[in-house]
Amino acid sequence: MRKQISAIFATNTLRQSAVTFSGTVINGALGALFYILVARFLGPISFGLFSVAITVLTLIGDIGDLGTNTGLVRFVGKYLRRNPNKAKKFLKLGLEVKIAVSLLIIFVGFIFAPVISEKIFLRTELAVPLRFAFVGICTYLLFSYITYSFQAMQKFWWWSGLQVLTNFLRVVGIVFLLLGGALNLDRVMIVYILVPFLGFVLGVNFLPKNFFQVKNEISVSKEFFHYNKWVAAFSLVAAIAARLDIFISARLLSAVDLGLYSAAGQLVQIVPQIAGALGTVIAPKMAEMGNIKGLVLYLKKTQFMVLGIAFLGLASIPLFSYLIPILYGKAYLGSVPIFVILLIAMLVFLISIPIHNVVFYYFSKPALFFWLSVGHLAIIAFLGWYLILRFGAVGGAATVLVGTTFNFIVPAFWVIRKIK
C-alpha cells in the first residue's frame, strides 16, 4: 500500500491532475454558486424549467458533437509530437464539423421548440427557454471544441483557467441581474449561453498558430470518421441515457418535485466535473501508452487515486445534507434524500473513469460502449419510469445509481479479462 501511494505521488499524472483538480474545485464551486443563486431567486418551479432547458441543451449538444471531442483527444494527442501538421488538420476538421452541426441545430431547434415543449414535456411554458437552449447548443459545441483541444495538447493550465473564467463570468452576470432587480428565467438563459461563446473567442487564440490555414484536412477525414462512427453512436445513446431521468421526471413529477430533483442533481455535478478533470489528464496518456505492462501499472495508480477521492465524497454526505436547506432555502429540504442517493451514484461513476479511458483510448473499442449505453438506456427507461411513478424523485435517483453501477461493472470485467 505504501509503495502504491509513493508511486502515485511520483508521477506526472498526479501533478497534472492537481492542476485540473484544483481548477475543477474552483470551477465547481463557482458553478454551484451560480445554481444556488438561480435556484434560490427563481424558486423551484422556474428553476425546474431552467434545468429541463439546460438538460436539453447538453443532451443535444453531446449528440451533435458526433464524437468530435473524443476524436480530437485521440488524434491530436497522437500526432501532435509525431506529425504536427497532421494534428492541425484534425483541429481544423473538428472545428468545421462543430460549426456545421451548430448551424443546423439552431435552425431546426427554433422551428420545433414549441412542439417539443407541448408534445414531449406537456409544458407549453418551456417553448421560449428551449429556443434559448438551441442557441446555447452552438456555444456549448464551440466551447467544448476549445477545452478538448487543450486536453489533447495536454495544456492543462489553459484548460483549467478557461473553465474557471467561464463560470466566474456566469456568476458575475447573475449578480448584476440580482442587483438590478432584473433576474428572470429568460435573462438567466441568456447569461448561461452567452459566456461560453466568449470563452471560445478567447481560447481559439491559444491553439496552434495558423491551424485553420492548413490545407487538405479532408485527407484525415477517413481516419477521423472511421473512429468516430462508434463514438458518435455511443454518444447518441449515452447522452439520452444520462439525462433520461430528468425527462421522465419532467413528465411525471409535479413542478415543485421537479425543482427539488433538479436542485439535488445540480449539487452533485461537482463529482462528474472532478471525473472530467481526471479524464482530461488520463485520456491522452492512455492514447499514447505503448505496452500492456505500462498500462496495468498506470491503471492501478489512477484507480487507487479515484477510490481515495470517492471515500472523501462519502465522508462529505452529512455536511452537504446539513447545508442544502441553508444554501438553497427551506423550500428545498426535500432535496436531501435525493442528493444522498445521487451523490453515491456519481461516486460510482467517478471510480469508473480509469476503466472507461482504458477501453476508449488504449484498446480503441468505442463499440463496446455503444452496446453498454444501450443497456444503460434500457435500465433508465423501464426501471426509471416504474420507480419514479412509485417513489417519486427518490425513485429517479435510485435509477441513476443502478445505471452508474451497471456502467462500471461491465467494462471493469471486460478490461480485467483483456489484461490478464
Under DSSP, is residue 290 helix (H, G, I), strand (E, B) or coil? Answer: coil
Q: What is the pLDDT of residues 200-216, one digit of tens each?
A: 999 988 888 777 777 77
Q: How far is CA 341 from the centre of its chain?
A: 19
Return contacts of 151-154, CB within 8 angstroms, 24+ apart.
151/72, 151/73, 151/77, 151/280, 151/283, 151/284, 152/72, 152/73, 152/74, 152/75, 152/76, 152/77, 152/80, 152/284, 153/76, 153/77, 153/80, 153/208, 154/16, 154/77, 154/284
Cα 419 from Cα 387, distance rounded (Å): 37
Q: What is the pLDDT of residues 25-37, one digit of tens each?
A: 787 788 889 988 9
Task: Give the pLDDT band of residue 8 (cuts 50, 70, 90).
Answer: very low
Highest mean pLDDT among 282-286, 318-322, 365-369, 379-383: 379-383
Q: Write out the DSSP string of 204-247.
A: GGGSSTTGGG-S-GGGGHHHHHHHHHHHHHHHHHHHHHHHHHHH
pLDDT of 190: 95
User: What is the rounded end-to-end Cα distance, in angstroms, of the chain?
Assistant: 21
Percentage with pLDDT > 90 across the chain: 25
Q: Which of 50-64, 221-235, 387-401 has the lowest mean pLDDT?
A: 221-235
CA distances from 370 to 226, 255, 359, 367, 407 (A): 15, 33, 12, 5, 11
Task: Give the pLDDT band of residue 18 (cuts 50, 70, 90).
Answer: low
Phi-psi region of 85 (alpha: psi -120 to 50; beta: other; left: phi over 0): alpha
Task: Give the pLDDT band of residue 3 (cuts 50, 70, 90).
Answer: low
Task: Give the pLDDT band of residue 132 (cuts 50, 70, 90).
Answer: very high
362 secondary structure, DSSP code: I
Tell me the whole-structure pTM to 2 decimals: 0.71
Provide the grid cell at 235: 454518444
Task: Give the pLDDT band of residue 17 (cuts 50, 70, 90).
Answer: low
Percentage helix, strand, coil for the chain under 3-state DSSP, each rounded to 5: 90, 0, 10
pLDDT of 16: 61
Fill in the amino acid letter for 353: I
Fill in the amino acid letter for 310: A
Instruction: Please compute the mean of the pLDDT values over residues 117-142 and round it to a whole number.
Output: 89
Provide the grid cell at 97: 464539423
Mean of the per-residue pLDDT values of the chain: 84
Instruction: Please compute the mean of the pLDDT values over residues 80-93 and round it to a whole number.
Output: 82
Q: Write out the DSSP string of 56-111.
A: HHHHHHHHHTTTHHHHHHHHHHHHTTT-HHHHHHHHHHHHHHHHHHHHHHHHHHHH
Q: What is the pLDDT of residues 138-179, one digit of tens each?
A: 999 999 999 888 888 878 788 888 989 999 999 999 999 999
Cα 5 from Cα 3, distance rounded (Å): 5
CA dihedral 222, 223, 227, 232 (to 10 degrees): -40
Q: Kindly tell me if the per-residue pLDDT of 14 is higher than 70.
A: no
